[in-house]
Amino acid sequence: MSHTTREKSKLLSRVRRIRGQVEALERALEAERGCAEILQQIAAARGAINGLMLEVMEDHIETHLAGAQTTSAAERREGADELIEVMRTYLR
Amino acid sequence: MSHTTREKSKLLSRVRRIRGQVEALERALEAERGCAEILQQIAAARGAINGLMLEVMEDHIETHLAGAQTTSAAERREGADELIEVMRTYLR
Amino acid sequence: MSHTTREKSKLLSRVRRIRGQVEALERALEAERGCAEILQQIAAARGAINGLMLEVMEDHIETHLAGAQTTSAAERREGADELIEVMRTYLR
Amino acid sequence: MSHTTREKSKLLSRVRRIRGQVEALERALEAERGCAEILQQIAAARGAINGLMLEVMEDHIETHLAGAQTTSAAERREGADELIEVMRTYLR
């Protein structure tokens, strides 16, 4: 089972909180709130996405690379390639 | 008029696209899609939020700090304080 | 006078500390220290450069955009263009 | 042998280039060059450190987590802990 399935309820809670932040941002724009408030809302949503990203990357490492049950070199090879690809995008 | 009001339709388009990305991520988690796909979706949403952040910061600079009509030192002082506060959060 | 001239001694202290961190990293590689230690040294140097960047950007905003003496629209235009260019590189 | 030892000459070249960038920045400050030029130099040094960081993290994953010879669960556990620690610092 994938770690994003195993941790599904934890991750869905985080994603729904982020969706709530993005919806609040949309309402703030529609209501023509001040730009300082909107900048702070964007920064908060960005921080929440960064936190989610880090969480899923850590689960990925634990499951596919470090786990005691991860015995196959092929699984680790694939897990490493996926991690490195996202790190390259992320850490540009 | 605030720049987030002046640029309201442009910004709302971006925010709605980000909301769509977050909703797609939520559906992918519910459908128990693979972790590599989910990591890529999170990275894409993060990139879109970063782009929005940069856009609003640039509009903020143009309006409150650089604009030819920005004649008041008090307005520039306030605009600078807001910009620096968000930069400190963002560039930690 | 440019802010990087006005704040010269403060900025030189920071840059020399960063140079010291990079030299220590070079010595650690030559001495074949463990990879965990080297990763931590790189992360520390990166943090110090981020701090310097933020400091100079803030001085730039204060001097060319927010300063009570910044009366010319042309100066603010140029200062804003320089700031936005570096933000685009930085916040990719 | 540690990957930072195995890749020593490649990493030393990168670190020496970064040291050269930091020294050039120091000279630019001493020579009181313009702030726009100095901001660009800082951004370039930051980009080079980010590149080095990513390179060492990738080598770390290849060696301690994905490598065909990495047979011990204890080695992978330690490698994962080190990686996650630096990711938490890095991706704050």
Closest CA to C82 of C60, C53, C52: C60
Residues in chain C: 92
D40: left (phi over 0), alpha (psi -120 to 50) or beta: alpha
A65-79: average pLDDT: 84
Please tell me the predicted confidence (pLDDT) of residue D90.
Answer: 74
What would the pLDDT profile of D79-91 be if each residue is shown by its tens digit?
999 999 999 887 6
> Which CATH code for domain D3-90?
1.20.58.1000
Tell me the pLDDT tens digit for each residue of D54-79: 999 999 999 999 987 766 888 899 99
Q: What is the average per-residue pLDDT within B62-88?
A: 88
**What tokens does C2 get?**
């440019």
Q: What are phi and psi of D74, to 5 degrees?
A: -65, -40
Q: What is the largest CA-CA distance in chain D?
A: 55
Predicted pLDDT at B28 = 97
Domain boundaries of chain D, sorted by first residue: 3-90
The ipTM assigned to this model is 0.89
Provide the angle, in degrees to the nearest 10, between the axes of the packed helices C8-30 and C35-60. 160
pLDDT in tens, D24-35: 999 999 999 999
State which H helix or E strand residue C48 sits in.
Answer: helix C35-60
* Average pLDDT score over residue span B35-57: 94
Q: Kindly report which listed range (A52-66, B12-26, B28-42, B67-81) carries the lowest average pLDDT score.
A: B67-81
Query: Which segments of chain C have a pLDDT < 50?
Result: none
List of chains touching B (3+ CB pairs within 8 A): A, C
- Please tell me the distance from the alpha carbon of residue B16 to that of residue A31, in angstroms, as a whole number: 15
Q: Which of B38, B54, B55, B90 to mutate to test the interface with A (most CBs of A within 10 A)?
A: B38
What is the pTM (predicted TM-score) of this model?
A: 0.90
What average pLDDT does the segment D36-62 reach? 94
CB contact under 8 A, B61 and C70: no
Residues of C in contact with D32 (CB under 8 A): 2, 4-5, 8
Alpha-carbon Rg of chain C, whole angstroms? Answer: 17
Q: At A71, is the pLDDT very low, low, confident or very high (cuts 50, 70, 90)?
A: low
